[in-house]
Structure 1
Amino acid sequence: MFRLFNVFQYARMSTISSAINLPTIYALSTPPGQRSAIALIRVTGTQSKYIYHKLTGKEKNPVPRKAMYRNLYMPGSNILLDSTIVLYFKAPHSFTGEDIIELHCHGGRAVTSAILNSIQALNDMENGIDIRYAGPGEFSRRSFQNDKFDLTELESINQLIDSETELQRRCALSSFNGENKVMFQNWRQTLIENMAPLTAIVDFGEEIEIEGMESILNNIKRDVLKLKKEVQSFIERIEKSSILQNGIRISLLGKPNAGKSSLINSLTNNDVSIVSSIPGTTRDSIDAPIDINGYKVIITDTAGLREQSDDIIENLGIERAIEKSKRSDICLFVLEADSSMKIDESLNKLLLSKELQDKKVILVVNKEDLIINKDELRTMIHNLNNEMKNQYPILPISCLNQCGISDLIDLLTKEFKELSDTSDGADPIIMSQRVKDILINDVIFGLNSFIDCLDSDIDIVLATENLNLAIEGIGKITGQVVGIEEVLDVVFANFCVGK
């Protein structure tokens, strides 16, 4: 047991010790190459104050956590670079755990380039002053190495930056605030506590009575089975929530000139699709990413479906429309409101196809404004319901006057909640593919192998190694594991420079 704790302690300490004597790094944290009112340049490391003194010409150290108005000069000259606001965060009370200097300068390209070049000019390896531009995610990597955040918290920062909708933002914050970190720590602690009696059995098994040994193993098995259920439930929530990250896919299907393009423009409040009275105007699929009540949605405007067309390109568009519908999460079948409103053979064939049996399907009756007599409209919808045997919800809308659009959005939102398992009001969970792979391939595999060993009366030493595999898997997720450098390379490869 003592050896097990030492392994994890060594993993963490070896990572932290590697952060000592690292070069001072700097980066432009705001988007490069763009004009803006303000730009932010960050510096972290032991030479942060040295850079401050050289750029400002001030001899006194900066005051921590106090905004200071300072002119910056080219090192070794009186050439003014810019007038800036400077913030200093003293180690260890900073994001990285090191001294940090933030330079809030004007956002012109020439201004930021001049300041960045001046910082790099202070690099002097002969005199032990190691300064270089930061790599992707290197600031966050320093914060991990200095034990400020674990890997799940840092990955959530990247997810927060990439979030496009309100739900994605809330999901990212749940990890950033440490909720998942506490859960992983509790899982790991449960397994480590169960390792203690297993280690005792391995070391002193001959001194333990058989009945006592069986009781110990049964208790451990009970705890492991309970934990396995929790992990599997967590993985299921991740899988359901992944749709929020990738986007819920909706396909618009229907005959030419039914108003599919007008509907997508109404939902996006933008002219994404070309609207024309000429049937077949949309000849290929058009994807539009939109935000509907906080959900990321990829809505696809497809070519109109009809039995025959002499246009080869239009026929290819129809084939692609059918393929898109099969890969969608929700299909909106758009019909034109008229006295002969029926599902023609091509649409009915697609509706009855096995690929659409498990899809969410909504029938949308467009151009309801053309039906003056609303009793006639209700009769038409009633007949359509009978024809479809009440299988699908039917909504009348008008893209011209926006009537019924809000009802359609409410219905879609309800479907989104079911698809993403957010109908209970709880925030979904978004984790990286790295975490999901480790949970399945290391944690669950280790727990299953441990249970199989106990059920098959296989050597207790092998069972212990399988349980240790699960513990190490959780360590990979949070960063408490030997060989952490290869894990870090994967985590921070897609981070922004300056973060």
Structure 2
Amino acid sequence: MFSRSILVGQASWLSKRSISSDTSSPTIYALSTKLGRAAIGVVRISGSQSHYIYNKLTRTTNEPKARIASLRKIYDPERDILLDEALTLYFKSPKTFTGEDLLELHLHGGNAIVKSVLQAIKKLHDPQQNINIRYAEQGEFSKRAFMNGRFDLTEVEGIREMIDAETESQRIAALASLKGDNKRLFRHWREEIVQTIALMTTIIDFGEDQHLDDSNELFDQAAARVEALEKEISTFLQRAQASDILLKGINITLLGPPNAGKSSLLNILANKEAAIVSDIAGTTRDIIDVPLDIGGYKIVVGDTAGIRAPELADKIEVEGIRRAKSKSLTGDLALAVIPVNLDLTSPEHKHFVDHIKELKELGKLILIVLNKEDLLVQENNNALKKLVNEYSKLLEIPHVQIFPVSCVSGAGLDKLNQHLIELFRAITLTDDHDPMVISTRAQDLLSNDVIYGIEQFKYWKNQDEIVLATESLRQSVEGIGKITGDTIGVEEVLGVVFSSFCIGK
């Protein structure tokens, strides 16, 4: 019978992340706003020498009052030169962003002022007096915040995603990590697995004192908990992978015959002259990618060369047609723009029709945009309905995926835009939930460590190998620890065993 030694013997996964209290580490400083002409430039300073820097720059002797904004003159520490008059904010550890003493200097944002203050701080570095001050490395403020227990890795990554957010959906998605929603969820999963490990350890350590049926019942209870957890984690991972497109952008490819109005539609979607519009066939030769914000979603629209019979095109246009087809095969959505006055049954457009059918066979998402509906007689709605029916049959596309519009009058564009937003929600699985994203690193760990460990547990459970099943769950716990930056101590497992399962009988 295996005992607690199977847990005690593996020490590498047991140490908890420690809170840094090293006062000898260098005090760091950096410009937190973008260098350039602006109203304000914020210099951030973190470390045990923060108050020393404050006293030297302001020529005061008292430690600054915490969390009180104060207007102070900033001087060069070596010369009698006034550099600026700035708003200063001092925060006392540990309740700061980094967990260390933190000083912010809100300077006037001129380049000369900011550079002179940064140079003044640099002059205060004096290793002989045990005063270590240096410019911060990339991401070092956030790194110290993590090392000092102010944030876990999911929250740190949320900060980065929030800064990089370009659209409303990206902002909402980043908030899930920044607010700690993901951290709480991961910790819940971790606690569930720890509870299960504790239950399994109970069976291993005390199984000889119980009836076989009791041990089997506990084993089944553990398996049921793991099964439910696997479904929850897999659903979350599926949402995360779908929402990952929020960061990269949803790729839309504009397809159509020459002079269909693709570039006109792109300009309307972009609300600017993003592409050249001309009645000359073959104006667009290469792919033009334009990033857009539609309904709060990041979209990358690719305008492509018009698709027609190769014998009607020159050598460069033929290459453009090849690239147009290739891009549509890798995109998330194809918008096929067709003018209402075009005869798609003519041999000239067979290549275009065949390509639409190829996309459909491959399961690609396609919308048909019937452009130039203003060319039809307005009173003759039957003509438009008849055309929609004809194109639906010819292209084998349902009526609900065909949208008559006019890039001249604007008719039908609002309906098309609303349908696109609904598709974006479906593509990113945000129909019923707010957008959420986690890093590729976290997704890989969920898949390769957490889910894999659960799968191994199920495998060894079916083999009645209770020890190996328990060891498999440890990999899942380690995987979550790698995501959040936490690890687990053996005393935590044993604490759960003795307190929750009442086995000291």
**TM over 0.5, shorter chain:** yes
Kindly indicate whether structure 1 or structure 2 has the higher relative contact order, using CA contacts under 8 Å at least 6 residues apart.
Answer: 1
Fraction of identical pairs, as percent: 43
- Contact 2:344–2:350 (CA<8 Å) still a contact in 1? no
- Contact 1:342–1:384 (CA<8 Å) still a contact in 2? no
State the 1:263 CA deviation: 0.5
- Contact 2:259–2:281 (CA<8 Å) still a contact in 1? yes
Q: Which residue does the alignment assign to 2:403?
A: 395
Structure 2 residue 220 is matched with structure 1 residue 218: yes
Distance 2:22 2:268 in 1: 53
Q: Which residue does the alignment assign to 1:421?
A: 429
Unaligned segments of structure 2, at least 5 residues: 489-505
Q: Which residue does the alignment assign to 1:325?
A: 328
State the 1:341 CA deviation: 5.9
Aligned residues: 478
Tell me the alpha carbon deviations over residues 399-421 of structure 1, each in whole angstroms, 9 at most, x when there is no partner: 12322211110111111111111
State the 1:84 CA deviation: 1.1
Q: Which one is further off, 163-172 or 344-353?
A: 344-353
Q: Which residue does the alignment assign to 1:365?
A: 370
State the 1:61 CA deviation: 1.8
- The aligned runs of 1:152-231 (5 Å cut-off) are 152-231=154-233
Tell me the alpha carbon deviations over residues 296-322 of structure 1, each in whole angstroms, 9 at most, x when there is no partner: 111000001110334211111110000
- Contact 2:357–2:396 (CA<8 Å) still a contact in 1? no
Q: Which residue does the alignment assign to 2:58?
A: 56
Gap change, CA 1:300 and 1:313, over 3 Å in 2: same
Q: Which of 463, 481, 488 is 2:487 aligned to?
A: 481
Q: Which residue does the alignment assign to 2:351?
A: 346
Structure 1 counterpart of 2:107, one-letter code: C
- Contact 2:203–2:218 (CA<8 Å) still a contact in 1? no
Q: Which of 5, 13, 16 is 1:11 aligned to?
A: 16
State the 1:367 CA deviation: 1.7
Gap change, CA 1:211 and 1:20, over 3 Å in 2: farther
Give TM-score scaled by structure 2 length: 0.90
State the 1:68 CA deviation: 1.2
Give TM-score scaled by structure 1 length: 0.91
- Contact 1:8–1:480 (CA<8 Å) still a contact in 2? no
Structure 1 counterpart of 2:24, one-letter code: N
Gap change, CA 1:4 and 1:12, over 3 Å in 2: farther
Q: Which residue does the alignment assign to 1:112?
A: 114
Distance 1:119 1:373 in 2: 72
Q: Which residue does the alignment assign to 1:497?
A: none
State the 1:204 CA deviation: 3.9
- Contact 1:339–1:380 (CA<8 Å) still a contact in 2? no
Tell me the alpha carbon deviations over residues 300-356 of structure 1, each in whole angstroms, 9 at most, x when there is no partner: 000011103342111111100000111111111111122746583112100111575
Q: Which residue does the alignment assign to 1:35?
A: 37
Distance 2:386 2:313 in 1: 36
- Contact 2:259–2:279 (CA<8 Å) still a contact in 1? yes
Structure 2 residue 453 is matched with structure 1 residue 446: yes
Q: Which one is further off, 415-424 or 387-396?
A: 387-396
- Contact 2:251–2:300 (CA<8 Å) still a contact in 1? yes
Tell me the alpha carbon deviations over residues 248-301 of structure 1, each in whole angstroms, 9 at most, x when there is no partner: 111111111111001000000011111111111110000001000011111000
**RMSD across aligned positions (CA):** 2.2
Gap change, CA 1:356 and 1:48, over 3 Å in 2: farther
- Contact 1:350–1:356 (CA<8 Å) still a contact in 2? no
- Contact 2:289–2:301 (CA<8 Å) still a contact in 1? yes
Q: Which of 436, 439, 443 is 1:436 aligned to?
A: 443
Structure 2 counterpart of 1:349, one-letter code: D
Distance 1:354 1:362 in 2: 11
Structure 2 counterpart of 1:401, one-letter code: S
Q: Which of 471, 480, 485 is 1:465 aligned to?
A: 471
Distance 2:409 2:186 in 1: 52
Q: Which of 278, 281, 285 is 2:280 aligned to?
A: 278
Distance 1:294 1:8 in 2: 42
Q: Which one is further off, 65-74 or 40-49?
A: 65-74
Q: Which residue does the alignment assign to 2:418?
A: 410
